[in-house]
Structure formats: structure tokens, C-alpha cells
């Protein structure tokens, strides 16, 4: 049985089996949940399908949130090729599309939260669109098991909630999950996936949660875009053999400690940060 209190332990278990994190976790979950691997893969396929639909529907230029604070930005990105290259451009576009779709009451996969819902799917769907010669849903679903393993460890060692740990707990965790998933998709080892997760969290450490008007729209949606880029950068570094000098479990513990030290005004209460600016005061909390 895998110890989901430690990402290092999961990496070690995968290395002992000679398998990627995804297959190690899939076997373990199948045993614990008394389901077959095929059943769990189908459940993940269902989640992947929701991710795809939300990315597509979110690009509708006419779809806006009830508040009027968000909508149409992903469509603007679809009008040009951007400056960051096909993969990065697609990841940003999809991350915003899914987050905008969530704000307009569309059905999304909280990965791991609604406020960070565009980061993991934005990363893997963009990778599939620009880096894979043929559609390989099996590989994408397996990468989501890797992402899920990272999220489970963070949930146990720290928190995934912005109200408890700031936006670092939401977008930071999602970036770590996406970085690990991308690393595995690109052929990286279990150890490299763990390093990618650590590198991603370190880059978002201390990020506050300051939703304007108390709504998960501003600045949350744009942070999905910036966080998916952090995930890509972390995966790129890990795949090159760059390691985090601080072990991944200690990085997660540091995130937890930082989150606990953040002022309550900067933890989803809409009383500080951008939510306290003069412009933000026009929107009701």
C-alpha cells in the first residue's frame, strides 16, 4: 500500500516497481478501491472528456459570467498564434477557457479546485494537441493519475484550499500536479516528476488569495494562465535533469507553513490584496 503522506515515498515505490508514478498509483488504487484498473481508467476517461468539453465551450466569445467580470478572453487568444510557441500558447488559451467556463457555471473538473481548474487540463490538453502525433487518451489518463497522486499528498501534508493557505494552495498545487503530469507525458522518470512538482510549488510560494468581489474570477482566471506556464517551466527543468535543492515533501511542508502565516485578509476573504483596491470596491462581496 502506498503512503500518500509523502511524494518521495510514492516516487520510491514507483522506482522499486520500475513503473511510472501513474501505473504505480493505478495498481494501488485498484486494490484499495476493489475495482479493476480498467474501471478506474474509464472513470478517468470520463473526467478527461469533461476537461475537453469545458476547454472547447469556454472559448465561446459570447459566454460570460453572471457578474460580467469574465468571459471572452480565451476567444481573443484563439485569434492569433501568440509569441510563446504553439504548446505554451495553447496551454494558456485552454487554461483561461476552462476557468472562464467555470465562472459562467459550466461543468468542470476541479483539479484540484474550481479556482485552479484550468491548469492541469490546460497543460495536458495542450501537450496532446501540439506534441503528440496521434490522440493518446490512455497516456493522458495515466498522467492524470500522476497529477492526482501529487494532489493527494499536498492535501494530506498541507491544504488545497485558498481559504486555508492562499492561492499558493490552489494554483500552486495545480501547477505542481500539472508539472508532474507533463514530465511523465514527455517520458520523464518518476523521480523527475517529483522534482517538477517541487520546482513548481517553489515558484508560487506565498501567493495570496484575493478574489475581487468575493468571486472566483479576478484575478483567479488569469492566475490559471500564469500557473500553467510555471508548470511547463518546472517540467522543462526537471526533464533536463535539474533538481530542487529542497526535497519535494519539505517544499510542501513549507507551503503549508507559509499558508498558515498569511494574514486572514489574504486568504479568500476578499478583504486584502487586489480585492481591496479602489476599483475592486465597485464589486459586491
> pLDDT value at position 165?
98
DSSP three-state, residue 106: coil
Domains detected in the chain:
22-277 (1.10.4100)
CB atoms within 10 A of CB 240: 9
- Asked whether residue 283 carries a pLDDT value surpassing 90, the answer given is no
Q: What is the DSSP string of 72-105?
A: SHHHHHTTS--SS-HHHHHHHHHHHHHHHHHHTT
**Digit-coded pLDDT (tens) for 193-225:** 999 999 999 999 999 999 999 999 999 999 999
> pLDDT value at position 56?
98
Query: What ranges in 78-219 are assigned the alpha helix state H?
Result: 86-103, 119-131, 137-157, 162-165, 167, 173-185, 190-204
- Asked whether residue 285 carries a pLDDT value surpassing 70, the answer given is no
**Digit-coded pLDDT (tens) for 86-129:** 999 999 999 999 999 999 999 999 999 999 999 999 999 999 99
**Digit-coded pLDDT (tens) for 125-161:** 999 999 998 889 999 999 999 999 999 999 999 999 9
Helix (H) / strand (E) element for 9: namely: helix 7-17
Helix (H) / strand (E) element for 174: namely: helix 173-185
Q: What is the mean pLDDT of the chain?
A: 97
- Record the cell numbers describing residue 51, joined without a space: 476537461
Average pLDDT over residues 18-47: 98
**Digit-coded pLDDT (tens) for 174-188:** 999 999 999 999 999
Q: Is the peptide bond before 224 cis (omega within 30 degrees of 0)?
A: no
Residue 107 near residue 54 (C-beta atoms within 8 A) = yes
Amino acid at each position: 500500500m502506498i503512503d500518500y503522506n509523502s511524494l518521495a515515498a510514492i516516487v520510491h515505490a514507483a522506482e522499486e516497481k520500475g513503473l511510472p508514478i501513474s501505473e504505480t498509483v493505478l495498481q494501488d488504487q485498484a486494490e484499495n478501491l476493489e475495482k479493476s484498473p480498467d474501471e478506474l481508467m474509464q472513470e478517468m476517461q470520463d473526467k478527461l472528456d469533461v476537461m475537453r468539453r469545458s476547454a472547447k465551450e469556454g472559448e465561446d466569445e459570447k459566454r460570460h459570467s453572471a457578474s460580467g467580470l469574465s468571459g471572452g478572453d480565451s476567444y481573443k487568444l484563439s485569434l492569433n498564434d501568440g509569441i510563446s510557441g504553439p504548446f505554451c500558447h495553447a496551454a494558456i488559451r485552454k487554461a483561461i477557457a476552462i476557468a472562464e467556463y467555470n465562472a459562467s457555471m459550466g461543468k468542470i473538473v476541479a483539479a484540484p479546485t474550481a479556482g485552479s481548474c484550468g491548469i492541469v487540463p490546460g497543460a495536458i490538453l495542450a501537450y496532446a494537441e501540439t506534441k503528440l502525433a496521434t490522440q493518446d487518451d490512455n497516456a493522458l489518463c495515466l498522467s492524470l493519475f500522476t497529477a492526482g497522486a501529487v494532489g493527494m499528498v499536498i492535501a494530506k501534508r498541507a491544504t488545497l484550499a485558498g481559504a486555508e493557505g492562499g492561492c499558493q494552495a490552489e494554483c500552486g498545487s495545480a501547477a505542481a500536479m500539472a508539472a508532474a503530469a507533463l514530465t511523465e507525458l514527455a517520458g520523464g522518470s518518476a523521480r523527475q516528476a517529483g522534482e517538477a512538482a517541487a520546482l513548481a510549488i517553489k515558484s508560487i510560494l506565498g501567493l495570496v488569495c484575493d478574489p475581487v468581489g468575493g468571486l472566483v474570477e479576478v484575478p483567479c482566471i488569469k492566475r490559471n494562465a500564469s500557473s500553467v506556464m510555471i508548470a511547463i517551466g518546472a517540467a522543462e527543468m526537471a526533464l533536463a535533469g535539474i533538481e530542487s535543492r529542497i526535497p519535494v515533501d519539505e517544499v510542501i511542508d513549507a507551503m503549508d507553513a507559509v499558508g498558515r502565516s498569511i494574514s486572514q485578509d489574504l486568504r479568500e476573504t476578499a478583504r486584502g490584496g487586489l480585492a481591496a483596491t479602489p476599483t475592486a470596491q465597485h464589486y459586491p462581496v
